[in-house]
Structure 1
Amino acid sequence: MVAKILSINSGSSSLKFKLYLMPAEVVVASGQVERIGQAKAHFTMKTEAGKVDEDVQAKSHDQAVSLVIDQLLARQVIKEMTEISGVGHRVSNGGAYYSQAVVIDELVEQRIDELSALSPLHNPVNLLGIRAFKKLLPQAMQVAVFDTAFNATIPQANALYAIPYDYYEKYGIRKYGFHGPSHQYITEQVQERFPTMSHKIISCHLGSGASISAIKDGQTIDNSMGFTPLAGLMMGTRSGDLDPQILPFLQEHEGLDIQEIKNLLNAKSGLLGVSGYSNDIRDLEKAQKEGHQRAALALAMFIHRIQTYIGAYAAELNGVETIVFTAGIGEHDSYIRSKIMQQFAYLGVRIDETQNQANELVISQRDSAINVLVIPTDEEIMIARDTYQHFSY
């Protein structure tokens, strides 16, 4: 069955999309609407006919969705809306409910909404995108693809927290891990390209949001994120791991309420909070060269946290065959990759700096004991595949 599938990634002020012809996995169109809700939004789209790049009006996700469909029609990418057979939505948290992609019905929507408490920056806007597309494309199958699904194989000993077990039974409090479609894509790429080096993989998804996964024989055994996407690595504006006693301390000494603490940890911490300058690695690297000490400190902390998790996961895997860097920072920042890997010379890692600077697929030397790779992630194709699998033949 040939079908046109839209892969959707809804952010708080953005909507990214790719339209695929399945099962050939041909990208028919791709683009995004940025700055949703602001006075001027911005729309970009790339098709076989060329590129669109213009300011637009999009005061809500409903308007952004309508804009995408209108542009697909106007550019004759589709002749009518009914050509789109399915829409796959990236959803941050499926909690204990979902270990695989599901067709969205009223119950699924209710659970995504309920799980917004665990992913407050993501689930609510994911749901906005779902409801907007359901309204505009009622004939299309809507499928939720969860960031947590690929991590469902994390064993209990790695997933549970050392708090009373009753809270796990009552609320499902455990590590869920995130960025599942990205880590799954990386796993499959390594298995395909380097099959003999694919049994013990450490996948480093480094972007504004960042996570690291330990993957053994194609299954996740650990992920740096936790009950929510706040845990683990230091990120653009998220704190990552910290001593939980800090929270009541701040509550008492700063008079912060629960919402203010959530906002502090999710939106005012990480690279931004430490540097006081920017949450963008590129800005911080430039500032470091200009002598900005807190920018340099933020970068050093970011690198150290990544090294700590890689070291821990190498031990957990009882050795590592391949380390992969992906996502915005992982794919493009040779400085960060080089600094991270310097720590693992004792394990026999040898980086080829010429290949690293060029963002080549293989950035390790031939005599390196560990294969070190740079692989651009493709979460959208994983969403499209999961969506297409729900069509009956």
Structure 2
Amino acid sequence: MNVLVINAGSSSLKYQFLNVDTREVYAKGNCERIGIDGSFVGHEENGGPKQKLEVALPDHRTAIKHVFEILKAVDAPIDGIGHRVVQGGWYFPESALVTDETLGWVREVAPLAPLHNYAEADVIEICRDMFAQIGNVIVPDTAFHYHMPEHAWRYALPRDVVDTYHVRKYGAHGTSHRFIWRTVHELRGDKTHRLVSCHLGSGASLCAIEDGKCMDTTMGLTPLDGLIMGTRCGTIDPSTVVYLNRVGGYSIDQIDTMMNKESGLLAVSGRSSDSRDIEEGAHVGDEHCQMALEMFYYRTAQLFAEMASSMQGVDTMAFTAGIGENSAEMRQGVADRLAWMGVHLDAQKNAVRSDEPRVISTPDSAITCMVVPTNEEYMIALDVAELLG
């Protein structure tokens, strides 16, 4: 089955066209700066060279038209479309076929992820309108976390507030964490029962997975909670918001922007939100960059132990996403902080760059450590194949 996977943002649209059975990627690309001057489409086919097409993209409908026009050159029919939806809210315990009702749900929960859900709902509607003969599937990032134990997802707020406004831990990166569990279990079988999946990128979260079920995760009501990230502060005292508002004179919107876009590794390093730039700065003696790395290692290791506690044990950890897959230094820094738990990396194995999942821990490590490249598009395509038959 050939599936087109679409991931829409407020001013962008990423796509990948692949075969579920063979895992062959026919084409992939991205539409950037939608509704902004300087818009373009980046596109590549069958692993070939990347092309940059400078085209006017005033809205997502125009972007979708360009994507389908480009894909006409691929000698394969589109059998289904899968849409990554950031926030499924209280409606999506699993992926679902697009109907008037389910599309309405995506819009209803959009206040929890306003920069993403509204754009995603618009794109789903456009695809239904333009290509009525092709089935569409919603794959929410939050669905994998939906059934975590209540003691993990419930906040200690008044029950009427929680129930009225659906305030709870939703998490994110669920599609990635689900793929990591699937891949690790395929490779290790019964050797893995309690896995901590470490999705470390510009956005970062950990997930405790026991025999395929999410037991807890580090992101909360929104993706701001948990780890220190590229530009997000991660977990801090909630009263910081009140303090900055009352004493600092910052508006709620200013604080929201500060904590989501001006904090994290960017703020601590004073240099960049990109871990590569920060590592480079640390190597030449930049103390702020060194502190940014140390804080990242500390918080990741600290929350790793928290995830292990939610399962009352851990046998496997898997690094994934941009930092987790590519930075041997970051992996080593986190592992060093977990040496007290018996975590030991093999320096040579950790230094290897590969697109294949692999073990990087020593034989005597109490926890098997792996690098597992994530593939959210394939996971989405699998759900499309299952629901559309």
Q: Secondary structure at the match of 1:185?
A: helix
Q: Secondary structure at the match of 1:121?
A: helix
Match of 1:154 in 2: 148
What is the correspondence of 1:1-393 to structure 2 with a 5 Å cutoff?
Answer: 3-48=1-46, 50-57=48-55, 58-73=57-72, 75-78=73-76, 83-359=77-353, 361-392=358-389
Query: How far off its partner does 1:195 sit?
Result: 1.1
Structure 2 CA distance for aligned equivalents of residues 107 and 99 of structure 1: 15
Structure 2 CA distance for aligned equivalents of residues 298 and 137 of structure 1: 47
- The amino acid that maps onto 2:29 is G
Query: How far off its partner does 1:49 sit?
Result: 8.2
Query: How far off its partner does 1:189 sit?
Result: 0.8
**Alpha-carbon spacing, 1:195–1:176, altered in 2? closer, same or farther (3 Å):** same
Query: How far off its partner does 1:371 sit?
Result: 0.5
Listed as ranges, the gaps of 5+ residues in structure 1 are none
Kindly indicate whether the alpha-carbon contact (under 8 Å) linking 1:190 and 1:197 is maintained by their aligned counterparts in 2.
no
Query: Structure 1 length normalisation: TM-score?
Result: 0.93
Query: How far off its partner does 1:213 sit?
Result: 0.3
- CA-to-aligned-CA distance 1:224-276 (integer Å, 9 cap, x gap): 01111111111111121110111111111232222222212211111122223
Structure 1 CA distance for aligned equivalents of residues 152 and 69 of structure 2: 47
Query: How far off its partner does 1:119 sit?
Result: 1.6
Aligned length: 385
Query: How far off its partner does 1:312 sit?
Result: 1.4
- The amino acid that maps onto 1:368 is S
Kindly indicate whether the alpha-carbon contact (under 8 Å) linking 1:160 and 1:174 is maintained by their aligned counterparts in 2.
yes
Structure 1 CA distance for aligned equivalents of residues 47 and 14 of structure 2: 19
Q: Secondary structure at the match of 2:280?
A: helix
Structure 2 CA distance for aligned equivalents of residues 236 and 130 of structure 1: 29
Q: Secondary structure at the match of 1:84?
A: coil
- The amino acid that maps onto 1:92 is V
Query: How far off its partner does 1:34 sit?
Result: 3.1
Structure 2 CA distance for aligned equivalents of residues 306 and 138 of structure 1: 45
**Alpha-carbon spacing, 1:299–1:128, altered in 2? closer, same or farther (3 Å):** farther
Query: How far off its partner does 1:136 sit?
Result: 2.9
Kindly indicate whether the alpha-carbon contact (under 8 Å) linking 1:43 and 1:52 is maintained by their aligned counterparts in 2.
no
**Alpha-carbon spacing, 1:22–1:333, altered in 2? closer, same or farther (3 Å):** closer
Kindly indicate whether the alpha-carbon contact (under 8 Å) linking 1:44 and 1:51 is maintained by their aligned counterparts in 2.
no
Query: Structure 2 length normalisation: TM-score?
Result: 0.93
Kindly indicate whether the alpha-carbon contact (under 8 Å) linking 2:298 and 2:337 is maintained by their aligned counterparts in 1.
no
Listed as ranges, the gaps of 5+ residues in structure 2 are none
Kindly indicate whether the alpha-carbon contact (under 8 Å) linking 2:195 and 2:316 is maintained by their aligned counterparts in 1.
yes
Kindly indicate whether the alpha-carbon contact (under 8 Å) linking 1:230 and 1:240 is maintained by their aligned counterparts in 2.
yes
Aligned alpha-carbon RMSD (Å): 1.8
- CA-to-aligned-CA distance 1:282-307 (integer Å, 9 cap, x gap): 11111222333222222222221111
- CA-to-aligned-CA distance 1:139-167 (integer Å, 9 cap, x gap): 22121100111112210011111111222
Q: Secondary structure at the match of 1:122?
A: helix
Q: Secondary structure at the match of 2:61?
A: helix
Structure 1 CA distance for aligned equivalents of residues 377 and 323 of structure 2: 18
Structure 1 CA distance for aligned equivalents of residues 344 and 16 of structure 2: 37
**Alpha-carbon spacing, 1:156–1:300, altered in 2? closer, same or farther (3 Å):** same
Structure 1 CA distance for aligned equivalents of residues 75 and 43 of structure 2: 11
Report percent identity of matched pairs: 38
Q: Secondary structure at the match of 1:30?
A: strand
Query: How far off its partner does 1:354 sit?
Result: 0.9
Query: How far off its partner does 1:313 sit?
Result: 1.7
Structure 1 CA distance for aligned equivalents of residues 74 and 215 of structure 2: 45
Query: How far off its partner does 1:10 sit?
Result: 1.6
